[in-house]
Structure 1
Amino acid sequence: MSTLGVVVQVVLLIVVAPYLVGVMRQVRARLEGRAGAGAGQPWRDLRKLFRKEPMSPAGSSWVFVAAPAVLVASTLVIAAVSPFVATVSPLDGVADLFAVVALLLLGTVALALAGLDTGTAFGGMGASREMTVAALAEPTILLAGFALSARVGSTNLSAIVERGQQSPGAVLSPATLLAAVALAVVVVAEAGRLPVDNPSTHLELTMIHEAMVLEYAGRDLALVEFASALRLTVLLGLWANLFLPWGVATTASAPALLLGVVAFVAKVAVLGAVLAAGEVFMAKLRLFRVPELLAGSFLFGVLAVSSSFFLA
């Protein structure tokens, strides 16, 4: 039955991820006075792209071709092992904070290498900017997770979520609140959202993620777009279940899994809508200001770790 929970969780994230992007676009459209294309538009775009033939720029190598598959595969592994719907899983031993961060970084590095492999100015520029963001964002994830794991004595994500359910008052502790702020900034940066990056722009002076994927087309572009949506869903789901762990199933029974599915969809949808609404009233930061923002989130992570030991 626990294996069924893993299957349900992976299928749920695959289905929900494009819809989450569609909901966020629809929220922005409504707040900006537009009708919007509907929440299902990302799925329609993916279906159209999957029917087209991929193309590779002249001079590129297998790195460019393999990067989308590596990005999707690494994100799917995170979707399988992390406690999004249930904490009981045959893969529970793999659901470690350090492993999840390593998988996130693997996808980032794969896409950055693909951007460099094209040999274009935009690809190299986007890869350089992406690694600058990752160099500050990934350590902050470790610090925020370590602050939460200090009271549990384990870096296992399932154990952290279960402890949060058993001690609801700990959610309002200084360490947890500081870690929540630090991880929220990182989620925005890792997902390429405003104010760090703008997923809807193609201006060469502001692009980060889009600059690395300009040369992709057809099925390869579909994989990159799907991986980006899945990565956003994974990051929002991790934030929601680490700091709002209620509803996550602790048993493999059908009613508990159903409640876990409903709770996950509701939390991710609300967080996505809040993020999209905030983007309407937020301007993109200048590029040299982004490291300052991420350094601030790193400081919050350091304070969270300190609080977890001195204010425990």
Structure 2
Amino acid sequence: MEALLQRAIIGIGHVVLVLLVSPLMVNLIKKIKAHFQCRRGPGLLQGYYDLWKLLKKDAVISEHASWIFRATPYVVFSATLLAAAIIPAFTVLPPIGRVGDVIAVIYLLGLARFFTALAGLDTASSFGGMGSSREMMISSLAEPVIITALFVLAITAGSTNLSEIISSSLTSGYMQPSYLLILLALLIVVIAETGRVPVDNPATHLELTMVHEAMVLEYTGRDLALIEWASSIKLMLLLTLIANVFLPWGIAREITWVFMLSGIAAIVIKVTVLASIIAVVESSTAKLRLFRVPELIGGSFALAMLALILRITGKG
């Protein structure tokens, strides 16, 4: 009974941490980018105000929209939050038990992407269809990189369970050649998956450059709030995955309040550093043309395949 209570506390605490910290990471990126542009930028709490404002508003839905358009915000938010709940954040113990692993995370994110693309097509908007087409093209290139990278990590740990992968990083070391290659590959994929510069620009609404924003252009009110919140959660979970696999220091190995609080502080610091790096990359690079994006993601796939070869041959 006590063990069950501990797991319940860990699971609830993990979900609350993701829900509360994820908007802050997005605002931090905006703040750093504004600093590079010699602007004051929004406050770090502005994202919370925006979400609260949108949640209080009613949604305006097109008369041509079907149940897919109405259900998509809830499906996307639920799937993304569940994927985030599977990834250990401040303790090596799995937040929701051993029912989920890296394969479940990939499929949950794929489910959210699938419904978002359908919603972009559902209202018969030309912008939505364009964004859905571009999103599917990018995801078809990025998903093999994620699968290959996580497969390398699973080979090293001997399991696809994320807790065991993180434990393997703690015991066997994470400064191996294959791990460094996987780290570079995943950083590129995170930028592509979350729609950041140079792949996409979440701050633009120019019809010639939109990808993710084009798919959700028809959403308003609380539906838009759920979509935006899910996007920030997705960024948070991917950064958490990188932080705990490749920088596992600080994560709690014992279920005590001291270790868990230190684990929470450690993951917040690590994710903040990674978000700052993304902001610097966005501020120092220009957005790529759409037809140059496959070259970037193809390079990350080459890194992941090289890491797989090194791991299989036992040289990395």
State the TM-score bracket (shorter-chain normalisation): over 0.9
Indicate the residue corresponding to 1:282 in structure 2: 285
Return the TM-score normalized by structure 2: 0.96
How far apart are 1:269 and its partner, in Å?
0.6
Indicate the residue corresponding to 2:27 in structure 1: 22
Indicate the residue corresponding to 2:64 in structure 1: 59
Distance of 2:152 and 2:20 partners within structure 1: 32
Distance of 1:297 and 1:71 partners within structure 2: 26
Indicate the residue corresponding to 2:3 in structure 1: none
Alignment of 1:261-276 (within 5 A): 261-276=264-279
1:148–1:175 Cα contact (<8 Å) kept: no
Q: Does 1:244 align with 2:247?
A: yes
How far apart are 1:90 and its partner, in Å?
6.1
Amino acid in the other structure paired with 2:224: L
CA spacing shift, 1:90–1:15, aligned 2, 3 Å:
closer
Indicate the residue corresponding to 1:225 in structure 2: 228
Indicate the residue corresponding to 1:214 in structure 2: 217
1:123–1:212 Cα contact (<8 Å) kept: yes
Q: Does 1:117 align with 2:122?
A: yes
Return the TM-score normalized by structure 1: 0.97
1:128-173 deviation line (CA, Å, top 9, x unaligned):
00011111111111111111121211111110101111123xx221
1:13–1:233 Cα contact (<8 Å) kept: yes
Alignment of 1:13-52 (within 5 A): 13-52=18-57
Q: Does 1:158 align with 2:179?
A: no
2:22–2:233 Cα contact (<8 Å) kept: yes
Indicate the residue corresponding to 1:97 in structure 2: 102
Q: Where in structure 1 do 4 or more consecutive aligned residues deviate above 3 Å?
A: none
1:127–1:212 Cα contact (<8 Å) kept: yes
Distance of 2:304 and 2:278 partners within structure 1: 21
2:28–2:44 Cα contact (<8 Å) kept: yes
Amino acid in the other structure paired with 1:263: A
2:14–2:95 Cα contact (<8 Å) kept: no
1:72–1:223 Cα contact (<8 Å) kept: yes
Identity %: 47
- Tell me how large the CA RMSD over aligned residues is: 1.1
How far apart are 1:246 and its partner, in Å?
1.3
1:95–1:158 Cα contact (<8 Å) kept: no
Task: Compare 291-300 and 217-226 and name the one that shifted more.
Answer: 291-300
2:51–2:225 Cα contact (<8 Å) kept: yes
Residue 135 of structure 1, aligned match among 126, 134, 140: 140
Distance of 1:295 and 1:94 partners within structure 2: 32
How far apart are 1:274 and its partner, in Å?
1.2
Structure 2: runs of 5+ lacking an equivalent:
1-5
Amino acid in the other structure paired with 1:127: S
How far apart are 1:83 and its partner, in Å?
1.0
1:76-122 deviation line (CA, Å, top 9, x unaligned):
11122211111213623123111111111111111000001011110
How far apart are 1:50 and its partner, in Å?
0.9
CA spacing shift, 1:289–1:257, aligned 2, 3 Å:
same
Distance of 1:162 and 1:23 partners within structure 2: 30
1:171-216 deviation line (CA, Å, top 9, x unaligned):
2211101111111111100110010000000111110000001100
Residue correspondences, number: 310
Indicate the residue corresponding to 2:190 in structure 1: 187
How far apart are 1:6 and its partner, in Å?
1.2
For the residue of structure 2 that corresponds to 1:246, the secondary structure is coil
1:38-88 deviation line (CA, Å, top 9, x unaligned):
100011111111111101112110100111111110111112221111121
Distance of 1:187 and 1:94 partners within structure 2: 24
Distance of 1:286 and 1:185 partners within structure 2: 16
